[in-house]
Amino acid sequence: MDDSDLVWSSDGGDLRKDPAKGGSAKRRESKKGRSGPPPGVAPGTRMKVRREVAGRKGKAVTTVTEIALPEAELKALAQMLKKKCGVGGTAKNGRIELQGDHRDVVLRELKDAGHDAVAAGG
């Protein structure tokens, strides 16, 4: 059978994930590098507060990243921020996520608590 007329086949699986078959490995590499601090910056030197909507069907989420606190303190900080903003959220993997756009409140509360925090992103 000649593959030049082939429209669809399940034999090879998802070809987008295999760079040898024309897929893009660049897309995966760019996503890998997003989660950590920039090169040369020690993690936890400054908390980053940003608004994200990607992957959430257009709904805004306020995220706090680069938090250099033990897990117990991270959860306590997240609980305090959720109460101050009056929203739900989560704390996991050194990151706090709050439902909705609450950047101003979060920045003010983090600075009042003595943390070094800045707004990040656009």
pLDDT (tens, 9 = 90+) of the chain, 122 residues, equals: 555 676 766 676 665 665 565 545 554 444 444 454 444 444 546 899 999 988 888 899 999 998 888 888 889 999 999 999 999 999 988 899 999 999 999 999 999 888 889 998 86
Q: How many domains does the chain have?
A: 2
User: Is 1 contained in some domain?
Assistant: no
**CB 62 within 8 Å of CB 49:** yes
| pTM exceeds 0.85, yes or no | no
Q: Are 96 and 74 in contact (CB under 8 A)?
A: yes
Is 100 within 8 Å of 60 (Cβ atoms)?
yes
pLDDT score for 63? 94
107: three-class secondary structure by DSSP:
helix
Residue at 3 is within a domain: no
Place of tokens 């090169």: 39
Residue 63 belongs to domain spanning: 47-119
Query: Are residues 21 and 51 located together in one domain of the fold?
Result: no
63 neighbors 92 (Cβ within 8 angstroms)? no
Structural domain includes residue 103: yes
On whether both 102 and 71 belong to a single domain, the answer is yes
Same domain as 93, residue 66: yes
- At 47 the three-state DSSP class reads strand
Residue 39 domain-assigned? Answer: no
Backbone φ and ψ for 112, nearest 5 degrees, come out as -65, -30
Nearest to 120 by CA among 48, 68, 54: 48
Q: Could you tell me if 28 and 53 lie in one domain?
A: no
Distance of alpha carbon 37 from alpha carbon 43, whole angstroms: 6
Q: Are residues 22 and 66 in the same domain?
A: no
The residue written with tokens 């009042």 in the block is: 112
